[in-house]
Amino acid sequence: MKEEYLIEKWLSDELTAEEWEAFKKLDAYPSYVKISEKAKLFKAPEFDLQDSLTKLESNLHQPAQKTPFNFYKTIGIVAAICIIVFSAIKLLNQTSYSESIQTQVAETKTLSLPDDSEVNLSAKSILQFNSSTWEKERILDLEGEAFFKVSTGNKFIVKTSYGNIQVLGTQFNVKSRPYGFEVTCYEGSVEVSLNTKKYILQPKDVLSFKTKKVTTSKTAFTNPSWINKTSQFQSTSLESVIQEFNLYYDVEFDTSAINSSRLYTGSFVHNDLENALKSITLPLDLTYQINGKKVILSKK
């Protein structure tokens, strides 16, 4: 009872010295002070008054009162209507447009969707969705790779150029690259539609579609490897490995001196070029030479 009184006094900066002492003794005191302090981190962006005024002045036309001619008044009204119609159209378009999030080479992003679902977007990927119809249907368009933690709710669908993935609430990774498609389920269950067929994945199941063949396997991990900044491969052609390499490092490979269809099993890290190159070349008995942005692979 007293507590409410003290807090309200504190919020309006009206605590007396005595009341301050009492307020400090409350169990919740540190918690409230921290909340009040940390609120400042959510401050609205700076507002530049001068900038706003300048913009406004350039947007304004003279007020009707100052212009004796009706002609100008009409023009003013027409202009105002144009502005309103124009901005209305712009605003309408804005809401019907999909939201689009994009990552560059070597960039990853974590974002939360309107329903608290979480998406980790890997390098060089595009994720699109429609925020205005999100509550009705949770549909995303993915080009690239992403790890989803979906909060429970109605259907959650990820569309890719290979097929659709549908879930209710779960954790899964989708990789949809030009050189292969792979869905890994980490929690719950996932339905993948691929070439008119449907596949149900249980936790730890991996479904891959490479060179027009569907294979299933198991994963031992609880997170996709790219979240920990490594890429892993199992008997994958060097060509595909290099394509993935280019997602995380801005380099260009010269493979003219080697056979790039050889199969590679292993992994490379995303944040150390030399180390990553060694991980690829050593097992295949190759050497590399870095020349600016160019990497030349050759036999030992």
Partner 1 sequence: MKNAKPLFENTCEKTVFSKLHERYAKDLHDFIYYKFGEHYNPKDKVQEAFMKLWENCKKISPDKAKSYLFSVANNTTLNTIKHRKVVLKYETDASKSTSNNQDPQFLLEEKEYLSKYQKALSKLTEEKRVAFMLNRVEGKKHKEIAELLGISRKAVEKRIYSALKQLRQDIDGI
Q: For binding to partner 1 (CB under 8 A), which residues are involved?
A: 4, 7-8, 11-13, 28, 31-32, 35-36, 38-45, 47, 49, 52-53, 55-56, 59-60, 63-66, 76, 80, 83, 87, 91-92, 94-95, 112, 114-116, 131-132
Residue burial 269-288, b: 16+ Cβ < 10 Å; e: rest: ebeebeebbebbbeebebeb
**Cβ closer to partner 1: 92 or 105?**
92
Residue 20 CA to chain centroid, in angstroms? 45
* C-alpha angle 294-296-297 in degrees, rounded to nearest 5: 145
What gap in Å lies between CA 156 and CA 122, rounded to an integer?
19
> Cβ of residue 14: shortest distance to partner 1, in angstroms?
10
**Cβ closer to partner 1: 9 or 204?**
9
What gap in Å lies between CA 17 and CA 9, rounded to an integer?
12
> Cβ of residue 251: shortest distance to partner 1, in angstroms?
30
Instruction: Look at residues 97, 104, 87 and name the one whose alpha carbon lies nearest to residue 132.
Output: 97
> Cβ of residue 77: shortest distance to partner 1, in angstroms?
9
> Cβ of residue 131: shortest distance to partner 1, in angstroms?
7
**Cβ closer to partner 1: 132 or 189?**
132
Q: Which distant-in-sequence residues (6+ apart) come within 8 Å of 271 by Cβ?
A: 229
What gap in Å lies between CA 24 and CA 131, rounded to an integer?
44
**Cβ closer to partner 1: 55 or 155?**
55
> Cβ of residue 204: shortest distance to partner 1, in angstroms?
27
**Cβ closer to partner 1: 92 or 257?**
92
